[in-house]
Structure formats: C-alpha cells, structure tokens
C-alpha cells in the first residue's frame, strides 16, 4: 500500500512539474537564433548606427504597409511599427522557412510571446521599434506569426541590395 502511495505521489509530482514547464513555455517568451548574433537575415542593430527609419503599419485586414521594403546591405534600419488595428499583431523578421516553422509552433502554443531583437509584438493602438542591421544581400521575410494572421496574408519582404 505504501509503495502505491509513493508511486502515486511521484507521478503526481512529475505531472505537476510537467504542467508548470509546459505553461511557462506556452505563455512565456521564447528565444530565436536570429536574435543571438549575425545570421543570413542580419543582426540586431545599434541605435547609434541607424541609417534611416522606416514606418510600418499593421492592420486588422491582415496586411503590413508597406509590405515590400528595399534596403542596402550594411544598413541599420529603425523600424517604427504601429498597430493601427484592434487586434494584437507582431512583426517578425526571418527567412521564409524559419517564419513558417515558427508559425507552426505558434499554432500549437498561441500564448507564446516574442522578446527577440528581430520581433516586435504590439497590442491594439500601440507603437514600438525594432533595430536591425541587414548584413548581406538577398531577401528577408517578415510576418505576423499570431495564429491565423500569417495564413491570412500578413507578411512581407525586405529586399537587401
């Protein structure tokens, strides 16, 4: 009897720990390898090195304005992002493959939040900034990875020349 009680207590304890960990992952911030340093999409920018500012609006019609942005390789851009809608939106920079994979994760854990230099998440009516240095030519995708938004077309691209 005592063995059964010990096993039951151990199982309950393990379940409690698993639930706490799962809740923390689902609701908390999560990292991105893009925010950790240079990558194919660039690196976090330095405010003292900003070359120009680009304003981006996010709307409830699931669009970014502008959705096509052109920058020069080596430029540090200050994105001033405004949520002009009534829903929560975000702007996340990444490769197309990374955004799609991350979006699949967001569908599984919709409470996930971003605290990475390559992302800004905003409640309705809020504005925020993101500093990013585009280190090499090519295309960098961006999108709103909140469930339903990316699939509805809330995405764009930065052409780096």
DSSP string, 61-96: TTEEESSEEEE-TT-EEEEEEEE-SSS-EEEEEE-H
Same domain, 3 and 44: no
Tokens for 140, please give them: 């960098």
Q: Which domain holds residue 4?
A: 1-30
Are the CB atoms for 77 and 134 separated by under 8 Å? yes
Between strands 113-114 and 138-143, the pairing is: unpaired
Same domain, 99 and 22: no
| pLDDT per position as a tens digit, 93-150 | 999 999 998 888 888 876 666 678 999 999 999 999 999 999 999 999 999 999 999 9
Q: How many domains does the chain have?
A: 2
Same domain, 37 and 18: no
């Amino acid at each position: 009897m005592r063995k059964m009680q010990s096993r039951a207590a151990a199982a309950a304890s393990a379940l409690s720990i698993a639930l706490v960990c799962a809740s923390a992952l689902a609701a908390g911030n999560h990292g991105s390898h893009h925010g950790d340093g240079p990558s194919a999409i660039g690196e976090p920018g330095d405010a003292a090195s900003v070359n120009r500012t680009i304003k981006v609006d996010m709307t409830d019609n699931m669009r970014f304005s502008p959705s096509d942005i052109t920058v020069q390789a080596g430029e540090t851009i200050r994105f001033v992002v405004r949520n002009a809608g009534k829903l929560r939106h975000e702007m996340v920079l990444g490769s197309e493959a990374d955004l799609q994979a991350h979006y699949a994760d967001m569908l599984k854990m919709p409470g996930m939040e971003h605290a990475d230099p390559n992302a800004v998440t905003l409640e309705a009516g809020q504005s925020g900034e993101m500093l990013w240095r585009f280190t090499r030519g090519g295309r960098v995708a961006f999108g709103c990875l909140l469930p339903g938004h990316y699939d509805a077309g809330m995405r764009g691209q930065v052409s780096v020349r």
